[in-house]
């Protein structure tokens, strides 16, 4: 779902919701989707016991995998999707969403 929605043509995205360039619907969507992705990855990995290393390092692996996924999406947009261009702001938004997902996980499960 994340891959599909981030690879949509730019003409199908709504315009900015804010007067600031950095806070647009696109950036908010990236932060939200990657927050959910990272949070659910951590929950899933911490509840499985088949692979002890994944269980023990769930937060680190989730941050690494979801950040690489976000960078991969931006590279695919830049090189393969007509009408879209990879953007460093989206990579920052993806990573921010991942970090927010970690904070959310710690708020719910640890603290």
Of 1, 18, 7, which Cα lies nearest the Cα of 85? 7
Q: Is 37 helix (H, G, I), strand (E, B) or coil?
A: helix
Helices (H), the chain: 2-6, 25-47, 52-56, 58-80, 88-105
Calpha distance 82→85 (Å, rounded): 8
pLDDT at 105: 98
Task: Give the pLDDT band (50/70/90) at residue 81.
Answer: confident
Over residues 41-61, the pLDDT tens digits come to 999 999 999 999 999 999 999
Q: Is residue 18 over pLDDT 50?
A: no
């Amino acid at each position: 779902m994340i891959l599909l929605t981030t690879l949509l043509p730019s003409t199908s995205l709504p315009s900015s919701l804010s007067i600031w360039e950095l806070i647009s619907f696109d950036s908010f969507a990236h932060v939200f989707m990657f927050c959910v992705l990272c949070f659910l990855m951590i929950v899933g990995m911490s509840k499985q016991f088949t692979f002890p290393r994944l269980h023990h390092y769930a937060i680190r692996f989730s941050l690494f995998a979801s950040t690489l996924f976000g960078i991969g999406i931006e590279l695919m947009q830049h090189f393969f999707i007509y009408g879209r261009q990879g953007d460093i702001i989206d990579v920052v938004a993806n990573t921010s969403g991942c970090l927010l997902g970690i904070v959310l996980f710690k708020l719910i499960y640890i603290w």
